[in-house]
Structure 1
């Protein structure tokens, strides 16, 4: 094999390796975008859940003490959400070239926000733990609408968290490949992290399109 043939072979291999690295980097960037988009969707649904809880607390459908506790828990989420409201507003432009790319979303949810969301879940479960009380609320059209809005937002938030965590797991697997680490294909982007919080469903509430527990 002549030197010119060796040179051509080396160049061809270098081009092939470069192309493969570019493909891998592009895939990783798409995964990062998927994680950020799913996180934005999760934040949007959690904000809707907190807003539905505020509406329920302000409706006079619950006893005064429960209403106050629920309002405080919901407002704690929304007040801690100085960030999340901005994120929700940016959802439509995420896929555009000029849209901001908030890399911090890859790093997971702030502990204070996760704690506030978990406290809201616990407060809602306490308020809606009695199936008979929930059934009585549903007998009132206004109360039934409030519970439907809450259950729909909560259900979508659970699904959004599941999809987000699956997207994070997929990105983490790719980030763990040796060639990704060797060639630093992730750049300075933080390692994607799952969102862990308490969003367990109140047994008495009933899933969307399902009857509440204790009803026929």
Structure 2
């Protein structure tokens, strides 16, 4: 084998390696964008859930003490730091522990204020039934948005653990994405197929 044949084989191997690296980096870039977009969507759904919780508190359907607790928890969740720009979403750090605690607190407060499945059915049948239905829909969409976000994070983490991604540093300087862990379980009576 002459040196020109060896050089040709090496050049072909280099071209294939560069093509694979380019495809891997493009895939990672798409996954990082998917994580950022899903985080923005999750934030929007959580803000919608908090605003419908405030509407429920103001509707008069809850007793006064529960209405104050729900409104306070909703305002705390809203003030805990929504994502205001795409640059903030690119940090890949989930929602942050303070926001996750506030959203979990809103969930617990809503479940406690709405009470048993029978009292939820009474709320749905009463004059504030539309507000309860809007809250249930916003809550369900927020739950789905968190699941989609966490799945996007899991996909990105799986790809970033591949040997060639680590070896060639294909992720660049993008931080490792973090899942969003919070309590967002709906009461059974508010689930689309449960109540």
Q: Identify the TM-score tier after normalising by the shorter chain.
A: over 0.9
Unaligned runs of 5+ in 2: none
CA distance in structure 2 between the partners assigned to 1:121 and 1:80 by the alignment:
14
Question: What TM-score do the two structures reach when normalised by structure 2?
Answer: 0.94
* CA distances 1:7-60 after superposition (whole Å, capped 9, x unpaired): 121111111101110000000111111111111111111111001101001111
Tell me the C-alpha RMSD between the 2 structures.
1.6
Preserved contact between residue 39 and residue 89 of structure 2 (Cα < 8 Å): no
- Structure 2 equivalent of residue 111 of structure 1: 97
Instruction: From 174, 177, 201, give the equivalent of 2:159.
Output: 174
How many positions carry a matched residue from both structures?
Answer: 195
CA distance in structure 2 between the partners assigned to 1:196 and 1:79 by the alignment:
18
- Structure 2 equivalent of residue 135 of structure 1: 121
Preserved contact between residue 124 and residue 202 of structure 1 (Cα < 8 Å): no
CA distance in structure 1 between the partners assigned to 2:4 and 2:38 by the alignment:
51
CA distance in structure 2 between the partners assigned to 1:121 and 1:110 by the alignment:
17
Q: CA deviation at 1:189?
A: 0.7
CA distance in structure 2 between the partners assigned to 1:20 and 1:138 by the alignment:
56
- Structure 2 equivalent of residue 195 of structure 1: 180
- Structure 2 equivalent of residue 93 of structure 1: none
CA distance in structure 1 between the partners assigned to 2:42 and 2:165 by the alignment:
28
- SS for the counterpart of 2:190 is coil
